């Protein structure tokens, strides 16, 4: 990388020792950043520089770095996953920024996502919601032959779109009420739209929504910030479907 192409950036990063500690924004200067680096690679460069100086590196979550696991949950300049639409933080490239820019980096902000350290949050609340009903428990027998169970293309497409949710939590972080309804509705839809999952659709919706409420997530704002920030473009139409399933299940007791 030629020196003329490298970027120097000012970072304002949230540092917090643990869940009980009081956090604060800390300023850092990072140099030698290539426009072709991902945002996480840029943080790696910063951490290398901090370690060299004998300082504690910035803690942040990541795993696949391929945009499919949802671990790289960062609020960048007030936007979940940063300024590029339908992109996870690990797939956000530094060419979206300019030399000399100031970048503010924070963790997800939600009661149900407590900060563990620095930019890492505890998102196990999502696991609790899945355990409450995000599965099929009825006996569906052996795997059927292809096309043995008729499924309309429309429902199959909707189910696949909903199943694309990676559970990153951007919907929660971008909602002023910290609502998890887009996440929950995606998990409800991916099953209820298919014959195998339709049997338990109402019970599933009731159990998952009740668990979501008990964990401290807020109500939907109907402002669609969740859809706008979702790296997989999950539609808020799933929320309407979930509400119908929940209402029907609550009334019938199923």
- What residues does each domain of the chain span? 3-116, 123-252
Angle between helices 237-252 and 181-192 (to 10 degrees): 70
Q: Strand 115-117 and strand 120-121: pairing?
A: antiparallel
Angle between helices 237-252 and 201-214 (to 10 degrees): 100
pLDDT digits (tens, 9 = 90+) for 124-174: 999 999 999 999 887 767 777 767 778 899 999 999 999 999 999 999 999
Q: What is the pLDDT of residue 254?
A: 60
Superfamily grouping for domain 123-252: Alpha-helical ferredoxin (1.10.1060.10)
- Give me the residues of the chain with pLDDT under 70, please: 1-4, 140, 146, 254
Q: What is the pLDDT of residue 143?
A: 73
Q: What is the pLDDT of residue 31?
A: 93
- Here the tokens at position 9 are 């950036």
Q: What is the pLDDT of residue 146?
A: 67
Q: What is the pLDDT of residue 70?
A: 94
Q: What is the pLDDT of residue 3?
A: 57
The answer to whether the 3-116 and 123-252 domains have the same CATH topology is no
- The torsion defined by the Cα of 228, 231, 232 and 237, in degrees rounded to 10, comes to -20
d(CA 234, CA 189): 11
Q: Strand 79-80 and strand 75-76: pairing?
A: antiparallel
- Number of Cα atoms under 13 Å in the Cβ half of residue 54: 0
d(CA 88, CA 102): 20
pTM recorded for the entire structure: 0.93
Task: Please state which CATH class domain 3-116 belongs to.
Answer: alpha beta
d(CA 161, CA 156): 9
């Amino acid at each position: 990388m030629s020196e003329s192409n490298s970027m120097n950036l000012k970072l304002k990063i949230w540092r917090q020792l643990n869940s009980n500690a009081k956090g604060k924004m800390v300023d850092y200067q990072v140099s030698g950043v290539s426009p072709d680096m991902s945002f996480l690679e840029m943080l790696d460069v910063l951490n290398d520089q901090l370690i060299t100086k004998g300082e504690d590196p910035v803690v942040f979550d990541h795993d696949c770095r391929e945009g499919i696991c949802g671990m790289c949950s960062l609020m960048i300049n007030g936007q979940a996953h940063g300024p590029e639409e339908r992109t996870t933080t690990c797939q956000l490239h530094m060419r979206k920024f300019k030399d000399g820019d100031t970048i503010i980096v924070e963790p997800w902000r939600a009661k149900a996502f407590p900060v563990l350290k620095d930019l890492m949050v505890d998102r196990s609340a999502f696991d609790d919601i899945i355990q409450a009903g995000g599965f099929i428990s009825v006996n569906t027998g052996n795997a059927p032959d292809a096309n043995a169970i008729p499924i309309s293309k429309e429902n199959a497409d909707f189910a696949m779109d909903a199943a694309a949710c990676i559970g990153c939590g951007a919907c929660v972080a971008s909602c002023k009420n910290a609502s998890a309804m887009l996440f929950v509705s995606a998990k409800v839809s991916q099953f209820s739209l298919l014959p195998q999952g339709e049997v338990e659709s109402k019970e599933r919706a009731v159990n998952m929504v009740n668990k979501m409420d008990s964990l401290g997530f807020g109500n939907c704002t109907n402002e669609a910030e969740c859809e706008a920030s979702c790296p997989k473009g999950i539609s808020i139409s799933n929320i309407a479907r979930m509400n119908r399933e929940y209402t029907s299940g609550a009334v019938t007791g199923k």
